[in-house]
């Protein structure tokens, strides 16, 4: 319980620190592990090595509590009860948030939007499931969120409609896996990254609405792989 609490606190540190995506407070000036780390995220997913990865098991419930604009992204907080299992290891869904454009690349391709589902196990270890979003048919979950998106930094809205996180995932859930970091300060490493191969769609209007709510691009530049291997 203590480790999980510390993990949640370390995630909150990113909201409290003064940093941005441009200018004198931009990514090249974040400092610490953000500059010195060797296992940083995001990455360009290319030259992945084939492996027999265990299927991801999602047991998500419609337990979204609120949507929060922290000045860097729009984040949906989840109550306990939604679970991800990876290699028989269980993680609880804490929140999901968005980056526009996508932070990770797929063979050099950047998507207009990427969703990150942040999970923590009982010891505070993090697993992030990333989902690419491409322009196409409207998404039901984003349609529900669209009615409640806070457009000013610091604003938080309780969700009056049930938002199912599973609605923001493709039906086919093959994935890429690598060891990385938080993509925002303090850029802590040791994060288990699981990037789904297949994108979901959202309408042009939905993508623009989310981007407008965040007020700016919020994608950290791609980081070098160094000695890491991406498996699929």
Which amino acids are annotated catalytic? 72
- The secondary structure of the chain in percent helix, strand, coil, rounded to multiples of 5, reads 20, 30, 45
Rounded Cα distance between 47 and 105, Å, is 12
Task: Report which of 231, 4, 26 is spatially closest to residue 125, judged by C-alpha positions.
Answer: 4
Whole-number Å distance between alpha carbons of 176 and 196: 6
Strand partners for 114: 99, 132
* H-only helix segments in the chain: 2-16, 33-36, 140-146, 204-214
Q: Which residue in 113, 112, 74, 114 sits closest to 95, CA to CA? A: 74
Q: CA-CA distance, 184 to 218, in Å (whole number)? A: 10
Question: Pairing between strand 126-135 and 189-196?
Answer: parallel
- On the CB side of 141, CA atoms within 13 Å amount to 18
Closest C-alpha among 131, 125, 97 to residue 111: 131
């Amino acid at each position: 319980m203590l480790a999980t609490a510390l993990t949640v606190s370390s995630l909150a540190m990113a909201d409290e620190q003064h940093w941005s995506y441009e200018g004198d407070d931009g990514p090249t000036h974040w400092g610490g592990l953000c500059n010195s780390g060797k296992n940083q995220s995001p990455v360009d997913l290319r030259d992945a090595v084939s492996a027999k990865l265990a299927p991801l098991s999602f047991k998500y419930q419609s337990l979204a509590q609120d949507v929060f604009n922290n000045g860097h992204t729009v984040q949906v907080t989840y109550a306990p009860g939604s679970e991800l299992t990876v290699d028989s290891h269980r993680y609880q869904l804490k929140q999901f948030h968005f980056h526009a454009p996508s932070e990770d690349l797929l063979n050099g391709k950047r998507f207009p939007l990427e969703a990150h589902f942040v999970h923590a196990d009982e010891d505070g270890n993090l697993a992030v499931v990333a989902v690419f979003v491409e322009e196409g048919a409207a998404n039901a979950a984003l349609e529900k969120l669209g009615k409640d998106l806070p457009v000013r930094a610091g604003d938080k809205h309780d969700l009056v409609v049930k938002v199912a996180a599973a609605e923001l995932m493709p039906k086919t859930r093959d994935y890429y896996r690598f060891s990385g970091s938080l993509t925002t300060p303090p850029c802590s490493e040791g994060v288990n990254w699981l990037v789904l191969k297949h994108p979901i769609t959202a309408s042009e209007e939905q993508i623009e609405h989310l981007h407008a709510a965040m007020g700016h691009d919020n994608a950290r530049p791609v980081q070098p792989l160094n000695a890491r291997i991406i498996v699929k």
